[in-house]
Amino acid sequence: MGLTTYTFGEISGFQAWELLATSSSGIITLCYIIIVGSIYILVMLLHLLSIKVLKINHLRLKYYNELLNIARLATLLIISSTIVLLLLNIPFTETKIFSYSDYFKIYYTIITTASILAGGFIAVITMIYQSIRNIISDKKGEQNNNETELTTEESMEE
């Protein structure tokens, strides 16, 4: 809270209540985007693992482990986003159960959770990029080795 207070100034409970009322729709949209994006990523991973070319070329175990880590994180994001979505559908700002000082804590908890979810989604995208880059560079290395083997076999025949 210290860095946030230093950067943005201290907000009161009433201001947190107003911010919670206005920002909850944006956070709900973020959760929907993370859920849909993560499900799409899982579908792409399943399709990638079912491609016949990858089975023929015996995709190395490390790539399967990388894809498994991506799938785990994407699944965790789906579950977490769904829980946050369910919690945000509770009408916090319309109930009289909480005092204004409680809204301060609720607001920062929700903003922190949304930041973690967004960061996790960015991490999944980065992990996918890294895996694809590793697979492509490995395939290029295999092609160069195959070309070297062909030239070596040709020179041995002569």
| Per-residue pLDDT reduced to its tens digit, 26-66 | 888 888 999 999 999 888 888 777 765 455 455 666 677 88
Q: What mean pLDDT is predicted for residues 100-127?
A: 86
Token pair, residue 19, equals 């911010």
Whether 51 maps to a domain, the answer reads yes
Helix (H) or strand (E) holding 58: none
Number of domains in the chain: 1
- pTM check: above 0.75: no
What dihedral do alpha carbons 75, 81, 87, 89 form, nearest 10°? Answer: -130
Domain that holds residue 90: 18-144
Q: What is the mean pLDDT of the chain?
A: 76
Whether 70 maps to a domain, the answer reads yes
Amino acid at residue number 116: I
Whether the Cβ atoms of residue 107 and residue 24 lie closer than 8 Å to each other: no
Whether 154 maps to a domain, the answer reads no
Q: How far apart are CA 133 and CA 129, in angstroms?
A: 6
